[in-house]
Each structure stands twice: as C-alpha cells, then as structure tokens.
Amino acid sequence: MKLNTTHLRYLTPEDWRVLTAVEQGSKNHEIVPTPLIIKLSHLQSGSGAHRSISTLAKANLIARVQNAKYDGYRLTYGGLDYLALHTHFQRKTLHSTGQCIGTGKESDIHIVLAPPPPPPPPSQSITPSSSASSPHPQTTARRSPQQCILKIHRLGRISFRTIKTNRDYLRHRTSASWMHMSRLSALKEHTFMTALHAAGFPVPTPLAWNRHTVVMSLVEGTPLYQVRHLEEHEARRLYAELMDLIVRLARAGLIHGDFNEFNIMLEERESSIVQSHHPLADVGEKLEQDDERQDKIANVTLNPVLIDFPQMLSISHPNASTYFDRDVNCIKHYFSRRFHFTSDDSGPFFKDVERQMRQTKGVGRLDVEVEASGFSKKMAKELANYMDDVGVGQAGSDVDSVSDASE
C-alpha cells in the first residue's frame, strides 16, 4: 500500500465526517453498515452522506466487500493514512509530504516538511533599553520548514489471515485488528523514543504521533549496513560504542530486541584530531587527497543513532536474557563478517547488567516510566504476541525488503 495524497486536498468537510464515521464503526464491525455510517457522520441529508460515500470509494479510501450479507464498507489503509495526515495538518505538525525513502514489511518511511522549531528564547543579557534602541526591534528572521521523517506503521500488510485463526487475543478485534495493531506499534515507538530522547540516548527527536503514524527528526547519516570499510581503530571504537549502548539501554531497563546494522544510523562529526584517511572513503565518491592537504583534514568520527523501536521490551521480560544476547551477537557477527574485526572481550553479559541493576536498585528505569506514560503491560503483551506470530522484529526478518528499498 503506497501513500497517495492525490485526493487529499479535494475532500470536503462532509467527506471527512463520513470517513471518520467508517473508522469509528470499524471498531466493532468488519463491514460497517451503510445506515450506521450515515448515523455516525451526523449529516442531516442522507443524500449528502451517500455522495460522500461514493467519493471516498472512488478514491479507494473505503471499499465495499463483495458477497457481503448486508450493504456496508470497510476502511482501507489509504483511508487510515488520510485520517492521520488530516489530523497532522490540522495540528500543524506537518506542512507537506514527500517521497518514500524506505519500505519494509512493517512500515513505510517518507520525507515530509514540518513547521520550523520554535525560536530560542531571547537572551537575558538584552535589556529593555538596548532592545528599544535597536533600529528594528520587531524584526525576526523568517524560519523555513524543516525536513522530517514520517513513519507509517503497516503491520496488517504481513500475513494476517493465520493470526485471526490461531490467536484468541484478537477474538473481539478481527474486524479492525490491522488498524489496532498498527496504532499500538506507532504508539509504542513514539512512547519509547520520547523516553529515550529525554534520557539522552542517541535517537531521533520525536515530534508527533497520530493513529499509525510517527513524525520524527531526520537523521542525516549513513545506515551501518551501507558502510563497506572501516579502519581497524575506527571499527574498534564503533564496536565499543555500540556494545556500551546495548548495556546502557539494559541498565535503563530496556532491550532493543532488533539491534542490528539495519537499525543503526551513523552520523559524521568532525573532531580536532588530525588524520589523513576518511573513515567512509568507500561510501560514495572517494575523497581526493594530496600530500599537502592530508595534514589539514579533520578526523571524522561516526556516531551511532538508534532507530526502530516497536519491538523494544522491558528487562523484566521472561526472555530478556535471550533478546539481550541476540542483540550482542548481531553486532559481533556483523563486525566479524563485514569489517573482519573480532573483539578480545567475550562480553557483555546479561548477568552483569542484572547485578549492576540490583546495586542501583532500579533507579532511572525507563520501562517503568514508559508504562506510567500510558503504554500499559496489556498493550505490550498484545502487540508482542502479534509480532511474534508474524515474525516482526526477528533477526533478519526485514532484511530483504530494506535492502530492496535502499537500492
């Protein structure tokens, strides 16, 4: 399902009311009866509701199910996309949508324009007299919209028919299960990202959340899986930093669950150390260096930024040790295979993290903070059961689709 915003600007207020009515009715109906749609839309004219239903069906925002026992419609992923975008635009969290830069089994990634960040507070050193003496005291610089990322969760895209028959936890949600799971996935990602960002972890800045969509800052870097070569000292430093990040997460009560080269971005930052080789010389065009300029080139360090959090779990999870070891082994195997680097240290180990947490008595646990913010254990269990059944978050589960999107 691709995001198609062609009809977005042409929908009338009546169309939005009918589309919202179909969404509301989908909570309890696999196919929302047409009379119920008209009732929930609160339109005085029945003909106006039918006209909007026809418009939405032509735009593939709702769909009529063939061979149904009664006349009704179901909400499509396109309709849910429109409702989320409409809310973002109304709240002024988005200006416009752009191209799709990534497609996986469970989500689509789009470049979007968001309002500029608020201006910094005025300096306290400026006195009223100096402000009044300024030739243009009311003039402010015009701030341009900023590029951001819109992540659209699409858990229903993967084989869901077997889930409905094999799982009883969806017994009362068979009609809207794909919507419900996608909402939970987006809510979980935004909640965890907010907690991690506030705690100082290297993650994108969360900007907004609505339904199955999350708006976050754009990480201007290179995915780890696209890096072809690293010098030994750079590989050693990056490996140590990634292992430290896994341990820091565990000390904060969280395990990523899918800590691999596809969910790690590398930002380049210059330092004052002088070095003659660029660590990303094999990515893109090679840097042309001559003897006179080698001593002047600043050292570029690669700083990891962690992305993708729907599979993140608490350290209190019964299988926390297994997921922790899997995250560690993913990085070990990748560095050995790609960069031919093997650490002399056999750790880190989950038992060491547990011992450290007992000493600190669980102070600063983000898993507790996330649960208190609204993402309950019941939501986490419901989403985890679904993701286990469809293979979301398992090592290598989304490798092919991500690789195809990057080519």
Rounded-to-10 torsion of CA 372, 80, 175, 59:
180
Contact call for residues 199 and 306 (beta carbons, < 8 A): no
How many angstroms separate the first and last alpha carbons of the chain? 19
User: How buried is residue 332: exposed, middle or buried, by Cβ count under 10 Å (0-12/13-18/19+)?
Assistant: middle
Q: How far apart are CA 283 and CA 99, in angstroms?
A: 23
Contact call for residues 185 and 179 (beta carbons, < 8 A): no
The b/e string for 259-287 (b: 16+ C-beta within 10 A; e otherwise) is bbbbbbbbeeeeeeeebeebbbeeeeeee
Instruction: List all residues 6 or more positions away from 385 whose beta carbon is below 8 Å from its beta carbon.
Output: 167, 169
The b/e string for 104-136 (b: 16+ C-beta within 10 A; e otherwise) is bbbbbbbbbbbeeeeeeeeeeeeeeeeeeeeee
**Residue 290 DSSP class:** -
Of 81, 258, 308, 398, which is the active-site residue? 258
Cis preceding linkage at 117, omega within 30? no
Contact call for residues 223 and 109 (beta carbons, < 8 A): no
Stretch (H or E) spanning 90: helix 77-90
* Total Cβ atoms within 10 A of residue 307: 23
Is the CA virtual torsion 215, 220, 226, 232 positive or negative?
negative
Contact call for residues 366 and 253 (beta carbons, < 8 A): yes
Contact call for residues 380 and 181 (beta carbons, < 8 A): no
Query: Cα dist. 251→49, 198, 340, 347, 386 in Å?
Result: 55, 16, 29, 15, 27
Known catalytic residue at 344: no
3-state DSSP assignment of residue 302 = strand
Q: Any idea which residues carry the catalytic annotation?
A: 258
